């Protein structure tokens, strides 16, 4: 049976692909190249269902309680910090949804939305790094293999359904194909600022795999 760390790591890879596409969209908005409102809406739907409800649901309702119980000191502190991040991401996503409606007619709202998209992508990447560098190691250290297998089984309760999961991955794939290739036409210094300094060294090798 797959380790719970690997289940979450696989989802992190899918999330990173979405973040990469969102970074390009934010750069396009800031450069005034385009305002793809429909695709921003599609990305926000993936954030709401796949990232928040499915991925963060596994962590908030199963993973974090398990590591807190097994590691009352460091595990509990990590879980507390990361759960707080999830609440902040939820608020930021709500703000982006509200801004998307205003941005249909307000140029100023478009600029704010681009900045919120950048903030979301940057903060989620930092969050994932903490999970993979610190939390996953704590899980392996403090929870025995048999108990970790139980966590994987419990993850199924938080799943959104096989078809819904597949549909969200297909949406991510279509956004990647539509926008990552657009990056070559955008200002590289802006892309580095919006998407992160490692964008060019990692995105093209990871998002299509």
Give the pLDDT score at 197.
47
* pLDDT tens for each residue of 121-180: 999 999 999 999 999 999 999 999 999 999 999 999 998 888 999 999 999 999 998 887
Of residues 193 and 178, which shows the higher confidence score? 178
- Name all domains of the chain by residue range, CATH numbers in brackets: 4-206 (1.20.120.520)
What are the residue ranges of helices labelled H in the chain? 4-31, 37-46, 56-58, 64-70, 74-102, 107-130, 136-142, 145-155, 162-179, 188-195, 199-206
| pLDDT reading at 13 higher than 50 | yes
Each residue of 70-122: pLDDT tens digit? 999 999 999 999 999 999 999 999 999 999 999 999 999 999 999 999 999 99
Q: What angle do CA 29, 31, 35 make, to 5 degrees?
A: 25
Instruction: Estimate to the nearest angstrom the gap between the alpha carbon of 195 and the chain centroid.
Output: 13
Q: What is the pLDDT of residue 182?
A: 72
By CB atoms closer than 10 A (0-12, 13-18, 19+), residue 185 is exposed
Task: Please say whether the beta carbons of 113 and 96 come within 8 A.
Answer: yes
**192 compared with 130, residue with greater pLDDT:** 130
Q: What pLDDT digit, counting tens, does each position of 199-208 carry? A: 444 444 444 4
Asked whether residue 189 carries a pLDDT value surpassing 60, the answer given is no
pLDDT at residue 207 in the model? 45
What per-residue confidence (pLDDT) applies to 107?
Answer: 93
Predicted local distance difference test score (pLDDT) of residue 188: 60
35-46 pLDDT tens trace:
999 999 999 999
């Amino acid at each position: 049976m797959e380790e719970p760390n690997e289940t979450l790591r696989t989802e992190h890879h899918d999330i990173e692909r979405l973040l990469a596409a969102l970074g390009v969209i934010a750069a396009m908005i800031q450069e005034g190249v385009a305002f793809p409102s429909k695709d921003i809406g599609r990305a926000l739907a993936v954030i709401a269902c796949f990232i928040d409800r499915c991925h963060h649901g596994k962590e908030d309702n199963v993973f974090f309680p398990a590591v807190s119980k097994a590691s009352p000191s460091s595990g509990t502190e990590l879980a507390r910090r990361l759960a707080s991040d999830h609440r902040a991401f939820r608020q930021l996503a709500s703000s982006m949804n509200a801004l998307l409606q205003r941005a249909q007619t307000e140029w100023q709202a478009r600029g704010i939305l681009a900045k919120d998209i950048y903030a979301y992508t940057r903060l989620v990447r930092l969050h994932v790094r903490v999970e993979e560098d610190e939390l996953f190691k704590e899980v392996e250290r403090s929870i025995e293999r048999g108990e970790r297998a139980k966590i994987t089984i419990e993850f199924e309760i938080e799943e959104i359904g096989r078809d819904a999961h597949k549909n969200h991955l297909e949406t991510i794939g279509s956004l990647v194909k539509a926008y990552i290739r657009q990056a070559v036409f955008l200002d590289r210094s802006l892309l580095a600022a919006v998407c992160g300094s490692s964008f060019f060294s990692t995105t093209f090798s990871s998002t299509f795999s």
